[in-house]
Structure 1
Amino acid sequence: MVVQAILIGLIAAWGSLDYAFGTLYTFRPIVLGPLVGLVLGDVKTGVEIGASLELLFMGAISVGAYIPPDVNIGGVLATAFAISMGKGVDAAVALAMPIAVISLGIGNLVSAITPVCLKIADDGAAAGNDKKIMFTQWLMGAFATIYKFLLVFGAFYVGADKVQALLDFIPQFVLDGMGVAAGILPAMGFAMLMRMIINKKLIPFFFLGFVLASYANIPVLGVAIIAVIIAVEKFGFLEDRPVMAGNAEEVSDDDDF
């Protein structure tokens, strides 16, 4: 149990370090879920839960001043609790968002403390010492990584039995409702994402993907490959000098929905 808690904590820690390596998006549930399943000996369930939580959190990205729930901690702990208790996607969906919101609150407290380290960077900038600036970046990143490791390690090590008791206390009709919500929430995640990116130029491709998947029975991977081919052709990536499809004036005149 201790070894599993440590390994799951390290998975969450890697999710935090992902930002330091250029935001590779390996902190997403679709990547970390299978890793949690591997640690707990149930990769299949880890993949299923990770994919479902990825759809749930698809629209949970930072835009402007908006700080989304902690996808990393919510996905890792929800997957770990669901697998360790012998539950499936329904339980993970029920746990993921509350855990992510609580983790966000804890993260805000940590973020209120770590800016004291910025004085090191200010002094380095004033003295022309870039090493102090880099040190500050890694120091603040280390704080976030360590706190996430400790949070996940502690929560999984002491919380599995309590979470199991909570799930046993919840009436079956509530869990059934969570199962229905598990099918609805991915659509909500797509809708949140579409509100940020959809515009008049993208609408035809959206319906093209729908037609290919629904009426031509092309799997999602096939639709994705077709989308990549269209993007390569539309933006001229195979030409000597790639050009954008449309100039700045055309883009500015295109009203978003």
Structure 2
Amino acid sequence: MSAISAILVFIVAFFAGMEGILDEFQLHQPLIACTLIGLVTGHLPECVILGGSLQMIALGWANIGAAVAPDAALASVASAIILVLGDQGTKGVNSAIAIAIPLAVAGLFLTMIVRTISTAIVHIMDNGAKKGSFRTIEVWQLIALALQGLRIAIPAALLLAIPTATVRSALEAMPAWLNEGMAIGGGMVVAVGYAMVINMMASREVWPFFALGFVIAALQELTLIALGTIGVALALIYLHLEKVGGSGNANASQGSSDPLGDILNDYE
């Protein structure tokens, strides 16, 4: 990997770490982070595949109460770097996915360290607020954000320091049974992540759309763009019918001219 590519990967990792807190541009999401790393390193196809697979897993990750979800940013950046350094193309995606899961859990330790430091920074900012020093608050806020970025950028830099030949040799030395096991395990984790999302979203209104989606996805003539277009169209139709049905139900005493909208409203 060239020096310019390494610098760009470091920058992507830094912004992905900050986005894990900001959530403004979603750069920490696996699909975006892996795609950007593939773009700056010239390994776009395999990194997009990796990002898409990890995104399906990360769909089921969420911070609930005091429980912190695995670090999607670290998993995305680190596994993409390993995939690029391994230079195995799409064949190395399964291994990268299997490596990403423990990295995501390990990232919780770095998150704990940064958040502990951030607690002290908050007290410094409180003192600055008592003194009316807005400059102190602004500076320490930027420092706290920079720590979040370095939480991902530093591990990324350490991985970039590993020679490409070493990573490639380590991946090629893995036995076939281990690679196959990683492929099966990676597929199961993706299914579990998607099942968690369905479990959170499941309702009487949503189940028919899930059924339609699985049936339509079986049609091999349809591309992902076509499936996405159908999904958007169904969502717009549903929102329109819900709006029309709601106004019809408001005048139920006068009779509704939209029976389908009334049925949809009965589900609510």
Q: TM-score range by the shorter chain?
A: 0.7 to 0.9
C-alpha distance in structure 1 between counterparts of 2:111 and 2:229, whole Å: 39
C-alpha distance in structure 2 between counterparts of 1:68 and 1:162, whole Å: 31
TM-score (ref. length: structure 2) = 0.77
Asked if residue 230 in structure 1 is aligned to residue 207 in structure 2, the reply is: no
Structure whose CA Rg is larger: 2
Does the 8 Å CA contact 2:87/2:168 hold for their aligned counterparts? no
Q: Deviations over 1:77-115 (max 9, x none)?
A: 101211221233111111111111222212212222231
Asked if residue 121 in structure 1 is aligned to residue 122 in structure 2, the reply is: no
Q: Hey, what does 1:60 align to over in structure 2?
A: 61
Matched pairs, number: 243
C-alpha distance in structure 2 between counterparts of 1:32 and 1:79, whole Å: 8
- C-alpha change, 1:63 and 1:174, in structure 2 (3 Å) is same
C-alpha distance in structure 1 between counterparts of 2:234 and 2:17, whole Å: 30
Q: Hey, what does 1:72 align to over in structure 2?
A: 73
Q: Deviations over 1:90-147 (max 9, x none)?
A: 1111111111122221221222223111122222443455554444433211111123
- C-alpha change, 1:177 and 1:19, in structure 2 (3 Å) is closer
TM-fit CA distance, 1:38: 1.6
Q: Deviations over 1:218-249 (max 9, x none)?
A: 54313322343135325549x9xxxxx99xxx
C-alpha distance in structure 2 between counterparts of 1:74 and 1:21, whole Å: 18
Among 177, 187, 210, the residue aligned to 1:206: 210
1:8 maps to amino acid: V
Does the 8 Å CA contact 1:124/1:132 hold for their aligned counterparts? yes
Q: Hey, what does 1:242 align to over in structure 2?
A: none
Q: Deviations over 1:188-221 (max 9, x none)?
A: 1111112222233322322232233236965431
TM-fit CA distance, 1:185: 2.3
Does the 8 Å CA contact 2:10/2:157 hold for their aligned counterparts? yes
Does the 8 Å CA contact 2:83/2:93 hold for their aligned counterparts? yes
Asked if residue 110 in structure 1 is aligned to residue 117 in structure 2, the reply is: no
- C-alpha change, 1:234 and 1:131, in structure 2 (3 Å) is farther
C-alpha distance in structure 1 between counterparts of 2:7 and 2:197, whole Å: 34
C-alpha distance in structure 2 between counterparts of 1:199 and 1:164, whole Å: 46
C-alpha distance in structure 1 between counterparts of 2:142 and 2:98, whole Å: 35
Matches within 5 A, 1:106-185: 106-127=110-131, 132-158=136-162, 162-185=166-189
TM-score (ref. length: structure 1) = 0.80
2:73 maps to amino acid: N
1:32 maps to amino acid: A
C-alpha distance in structure 2 between counterparts of 1:129 and 1:230, whole Å: 52
Does the 8 Å CA contact 2:10/2:153 hold for their aligned counterparts? yes
RMSD after superposition: 3.1
C-alpha distance in structure 2 between counterparts of 1:235 and 1:91, whole Å: 45
Mind listing any 5+ residue stretches in structure 1 that lack a counterpart?
Answer: 240-244
Does the 8 Å CA contact 1:40/1:84 hold for their aligned counterparts? no
1:93 maps to amino acid: I
